[in-house]
Amino acid sequence: MDSLHKRIIALADLHGRTRESLLPILQGVVEYDNYLSQKSMVEISKELDLPASEVYGTATFYSFLEHRKMGKFTIRVCKTISCSMKGKNQILLAIKEMLKIDIGQTTQDGRFSLVETNCLGWCHKAPAMVINHEVFTELTPEKVRGILGEYMKKEI
């Protein structure tokens, strides 16, 4: 039994093996692996006795459940009208220039991935972004460069 299978069993033991357990188990796999591989979705479907199509459909519905390999630090930039009106495009430009990647890409060293996402819930402090689970609001290009500079210093 490989480590992925053991993790899924442990998550099912913790959350249960019902349809309602699917989302917390998917979140648990993403928390550990940073994305949901095809293999993990098949293993989850077997463990919960759910059709693989249902697991895949749930995994691809939620924007925070990545189903492709991501960098160690996933940068999510809000793409709502509130963030757009408050300078989201300048924020994205600063990130793209600093990391030399575009939306949907990962840096060559595997440290950073950049994605746009729907509302992060911080419209009153737009523009906003999340790096993994850390929220940053009222962004400017200068603030973004400082934040990314700090993340570049972190050990992975």
**Is beta strand 112-117 parallel, antiparallel or unpaired with respect to 134-136?**
unpaired
What one-letter code names the amino acid at 34? N
**Residues 64-113: pLDDT tens digits?**
888 888 899 999 999 889 889 999 999 999 999 999 999 999 999 999 99
Chain centroid to Cα 46, Å, comes to 24
Query: Rounded to whole angstroms, how far apart are CA atoms 35 and 15?
Result: 19
- What are the b/e assignments for 85-121, b being 16+ CB within 10 Å? ebbbeebbebbeebbebeeeebbeeeebbbbbbeebe
The secondary structure of 108-145 as a DSSP string is TTSSEEEEEES--S-GGG-S-EEETTEEE-S--HHHHH
pLDDT digits (tens, 9 = 90+) for 37-61: 999 999 999 999 999 999 999 998 8
Question: Taking the domains of the chain in order of start, what are their residue ranges?
Answer: 3-61, 73-153
Q: Does pTM surpass 0.95? A: no
- pLDDT number for residue 101: 97
CATH top-level class for 73-153? alpha beta
Contact of 121 with 103, CB cutoff 8 Å:
no
Q: If residue 43 lies in a helix (H) or strand (E), which one and from where to where?
A: helix 38-48
Q: How many helices (H) and strands (E) does the chain have?
A: 7, 4
The pLDDT > 70 percentage for the chain reads: 100
Under the banding of pLDDT at 50, 70 and 90, the label for residue 120 is confident
Task: Note the pLDDT of residue 121.
Answer: 87
